[in-house]
Amino acid sequence: MSAAPDLITRQIQRDIRNRWLLSLPALLIILLAATGPLLIVVVYSLLTPGDYGDVKWVFSTEAWVSVFFQRDMFDDTLTPASAHLSIFMRSVNLSVMTTVFTVLLGFPTAWFIATRPARSRDLWLFLITIPFWTNILIRTYAMLEVIRNEGLINTFLMRSGLIDKPLQMLFTDGAVLAGMVYTCLPMMVLPIYASLEKLDFRLVEAAYDLYATPFRVLTKVILPIVKPGVVAGSILVFIPSLGAYVVPILLGGGKTMMVGNLIGLQFGQGRNWPLGAALSITLMVVVMIALLAYVRYSGGKGAKAHG
C-alpha cells in the first residue's frame, strides 16, 4: 500500500513526458512556420533598406521612426505620420463595417440554414462553401464585372431605360465594402451556423411562452446562447479584413489605400522592406489590441469556447 502514491507519481510523470514527446512535432511546426518568420520580420524591421529592395545588414531604427513620424525633406524635423494614421483608421473602419454587415447578413442566413430540415441543411452549407473553391482574385474580378460602368447591373438598368448614364459603383468606398462583405460572408455564416445548429429550439418556444416578443426572444435567449459563434465569426472576418489587399485595389481602384496596400507598396515600388516589416508588426499589434478589447467586451465566453 505504501508504494502506491509513489507509483502514481511516477505514472503521472511518465504521462507528462509522453505528452510533451507527442506534441513535439506540432511544436516544431509552430516554431518553424509561425514564430520563425515572425522573428525574421522583426529583425528586418530593424535593418536599413537596400537600393533595389532587400535589406542591408546595418542596424537602424529609421523604419520604426517613419511608421509613426514623417521626416521633413529639408530640415529633418519630425511630425506625426498623419498619412499612416489615417490609413490605419480607414482600415479599422472598413474592417468594423465589414464585420457588422457580415453579422447582419450572416446571422439570418445561418438561421435559415439551421431551421431547414436536417437533410437539406447539407445542401445549403455546400452552397455557402462554393465560393471558397474559387480564388479570391477571380471572385473579385467577377464582382468588378458586375458593377463596372459597362457591367451587368448598369447594362441592365440602361437597357430597361431606368437610367440614362451608368451609375458609378466601381472605385467607390461602397464597392470596397460590398466586395469585403461578399468575400468574408462564409467565414461568418459557418461559425454562427455551428452555434445555431446546437441551439435547442424548445428554448425559443419556452421564451415565447414566457411572454417574450419575437425580438426579445432573439436578444434575450438566442443571441446570448449563440454568442460564441458570433464572436468566432467576427474574429474570422475582422482579422483578414484589416490586412485586405486585393479587394481595395481592384474595387477601390487604389484610390483609397488600406494598410494591406501600404505594406504591399513598401515591398514593391517603395523598396523599403524595413518599413514594410515595421508596418506589418504594427498591424499585428493593432489586431491584438482590437481582439483583446472585443473579447473582453463580449464577456470573454467566446474566447473560452474557442481558445
Q: Tell me which residues touch another protein (CB under 8 A).
A: 200, 202-203, 205-213, 216, 220-221, 224-225
Rounded to a whole number of angstroms, the minimum distance from the CB of residue 291 to another protein is 23
For the CB of residue 202, give the shortest distance to another protein in the complex, in Å: 4
d(CA 152, CA 279): 38
**Percent helix, strand and coil across the chain, each rounded to 5?**
75, 5, 20
Complex with another protein: residue 185 or 221, whichever CB lies closer: 221
C-alpha closest to that of 204 among 194, 218, 192, 189: 218
Q: Which is nearer to another protein, 36 or 300 (CB)?
A: 300
Q: Report the distance separating Cα 94 and Cα 178, nearest Å.
A: 10
Residue 210 CB, nearest approach to another protein (Å):
4
CA 279, 284, 287, 292 torsion-angle sign: negative
CB nearer to another protein: pick between 35 and 213: 213
Identity (one letter) of the amino acid at 90?
Answer: R
Which is nearest to 250 in space by CA: 165, 155, 182?
182
Alpha carbons 24 and 46: distance in angstroms, whole number:
31
Contact 71, 84 (CB under 8 A): no
Number of H helices, E strands in the chain: 15, 4
Which of 173, 197 has the CB closer to another protein? 197
Q: Where are the beta strands (DSSP E) in 172-292?
A: none
Q: How far is the CB of 305 from another protein (least distance, A)?
A: 12
49 neighbors 273 (Cβ within 8 angstroms): yes
Four-CA torsion 232, 236, 238, 241, nearest 10 degrees: -170
Least Å distance between CB 226 and another protein? 10
Which C-beta is closer to another protein: that of 63 or that of 221? 221
**At closest approach, how far in Å is the CB of 215 from another protein?**
11
DSSP 210: T
Nearer to another protein, 215 or 297 (CB): 215
Smaller CB separation from another protein, 100 or 210: 210
The CB-of-206 to another protein minimum distance in angstroms stands at 4
Cell of 291: 481582439
- φ, ψ of residue 81 to 5 degrees: the values are -80, 80
Closest distance to another protein from the beta carbon of 299 (Å): 10
Q: Which is nearer to another protein, 37 or 300 (CB)?
A: 300
Are 297 and 234 in contact, with CB atoms under 8 Å apart?
no
The 8-class DSSP code of residue 217 comes to I
